[in-house]
Structure 1
Amino acid sequence: METLFVALDFDSTEECFDFLNQFKGQSISVKIGMAEYFRSGADMIENLAQRGHHIFLDLKCHDIPNTVELAVEQLSNLPIKYLTVHALGGMTMLKAAINGRNKGRFHPKILAVTQLTSTSEDMLQQLGFKEVSMTDSTIQLAKMAYDAGVDGVVASVHEVEAIKQATDDSFIVLTPGIRMEQSIHDDQHRIATPKQAKVHQSDLIVVGRPIIKAKEPVEMYRKYLKDWRD
């Protein structure tokens, strides 16, 4: 399974498959977010799996523990490899997510979202974290997720090494906000190149708009993949 996931953030399901058809039967790893899942549901997941694609379902489940357990159980009956929940849901909710996963058919790895890459230090202050830095907040959430028994976390590349030190090397860290140096930052504040992510020990990366909006998406995908592998 390729460790670079392409975020299929399109305006329609048809655009998703038009993009994937450019790869001429090649199986790639893809991320399905809330917008596409709410539009196409389980049928989209089944279709992608039948085509041989590896699926990261990024729904960031966050609710009372019982609700999350029931939701994750249902989602774990889909052929997905990774599923996200929010670390801010707390220890009990994270453990409930694991219970739900274990009852499902496919047992995806559970990744807890720490702080979004669109979150800045100023936003953290606005949310009431006035005496906690972005790094400290992220590490604290990652340690809680590790203690809860989830498989890994989603975090900015800038916190990966500290997370590894606070947990262990087997604890997965998936890094979004990946851009080449010349790319527009969009709404992402804490970004990094694929090569930087590799140097900082990221295990998985997600790339969206820089690939799917490129004039030559397949060529751009290969460029990101090369930078990540090298």
Structure 2
Amino acid sequence: MRMHRAQPSLYVALDFPDRAAAENLVAQLDPADCGLKVGKELFTRAGPELVRSLVDRGFAVFLDLKFHDIPHTVAQACRAASDLGVSLVNVHASGGRAMLAAARAAIPPGTDAPALIAVTVLTSMTEADLVDIGVNRPLADQVSALARLSCEAGLDGVVCSAWEATAMRSVFVQPDPVIVTPGIRPAGSALDDQSRVMTPEEAIQAGATSIVVGRPITRAQDPASVAHEIARSIR
């Protein structure tokens, strides 16, 4: 039985500097093909009113703010996100057990509730980056440890590289886990600032339930066609 809102298989990252640019792209997209991911830059500039308007247009919205703070603050932020009507909320697993538990308590599981997932290790990071911040275990081990902590706290899944999606399936064994993979690039696309990537089809085959695609869609001459083709290819 699903204990959170249904998730689209494709989220388009609205990584734009202002609301007008984001809405220009959104006007070309079909909610039947994709959901929309709103991150820190756009949310800081456009605020909750933009999120509400996207929800009102019928889009599933992934509010990608990666909450990471003391437990009470994260709980209040998660509750506020849920009140916006979004479909997906995330927190940083590295915030620790108490913070994850507070987030879970703020968004009780339910068919009308947004899914609550944790960020393990950012897809732009390498093992050398982990060493720089004092994490000396292999990257895959760090991802798995944070995923287990998130699962024990009752979260619905994780954000992770597609390269870790299969391993996440062995951690989140509930009937309807949420395994979200950014860093997805269709064959032939530029890697940009991502270092651990897969194609959409490879990511789904590896165990992802939703993929996040940004620039290959948002910078395309015909974003709607690209989004539709990606959605078709992974259905």
Scaled by the length of structure 2, the TM-score of the pair is 0.91
Contact map agreement 1:4 1:207 (CA 8 A) in 2: yes
Moved segments of 4+, more than 3 Å: 23-28
Match of 1:52 among 58, 62, 66: 58
CA RMSD of aligned residues (A): 1.9
Which of 109, 112, 121 is the matching residue for 2:115? 109
The alignment partner of 1:76 has SS state of helix
CA separation of 1:203/1:24 partners in 2, compared to 1, >3 Å: closer, same or farther?
A: closer
Give the deviation of 1:27 after TM superposition.
6.9
The residue aligned with 1:168 is 173
1:138-171 CA distance string (max 9 Å, x none): 0110011000001110001111111211331533
Tell me the residue number matched to 2:187: 181
Unaligned runs of 5+ in 2: 1-6
Partner of 1:121: 127
| Letter matched to residue 182 of structure 1 | G
From 136, 150, 155, the equivalent of 2:160 is 155
Q: Structure 1: which amino acid aligns with 2:122?
A: L
40-49 vs 19-28, which deviates more? 19-28
Mapping of 1:60-75 within 5 angstroms? 60-75=66-81
CA contact (8 A) 1:73 1:102 kept: no
Question: Is 1:198 the counterpart of 2:170 in the alignment?
Answer: no
Mark the CA change 1:12 to 1:216 in structure 2 (over 3 Å): closer, same or farther.
same
Q: Which one-letter code corresponds to 2:88 in the other structure?
A: Y
Quick one: distance in 1 between partners of 2:31 and 2:94?
39
1:4-58 CA-partner distances (Å, limit 9, x unpaired): 0001111221111111212378673110001111111110011111111111100
Cross-structure match for 2:86: 80
Q: 2:220 is matched with which residue: 210, 214, 221?
A: 214
**In structure 1, the residue corresponding to 2:83 is in which secondary structure?**
coil
Maintained 8 Å contact 1:101/1:108 = yes
**DSSP 3-state at the match of 2:108:** helix
Closer, same or farther: CA 195–188 of 1 in aligned 2, 3 Å: same
Aligned residues: 227
Tell me, what secondary structure is at the counterpart of 2:188? Answer: coil
Relative contact order (alpha carbons < 8 A, sep ≥ 6): 1 or 2 greater?
Answer: 2
Relative to structure 1, the CA distance from residue 27 to residue 199 in structure 2 (aligned partners, 3 Å threshold; closer, same or farther) is closer
Distance (whole Å) between structure 1 residues aligned to residue 172 and residue 15 of structure 2: 31
AA at the equivalent of 2:53: N
Answer whether contact 2:127 2:139 (CA < 8 A) is retained.
yes
The answer to whether the 8 A contact 1:68-1:96 is kept is: yes
Distance in structure 2 (CA, Å) of the matches to 1:180 and 1:27? 16
CA contact (8 A) 1:27 1:53 kept: no
In the aligned structure 2, how far is the partner of 1:163 from the partner of 1:27?
Answer: 25
Alpha-carbon contact 1:27-1:52 (below 8 Å) kept = no
**CA, structure 1 residues 37+50, in 2 after alignment: closer, same or farther (shift >3 Å)?**
same
Change (3 A) 1:15 1:214: same
Q: Answer whether contact 1:27 1:54 (CA < 8 A) is retained.
A: no
Verify: 1:33 aligned to 2:39, yes or no: yes
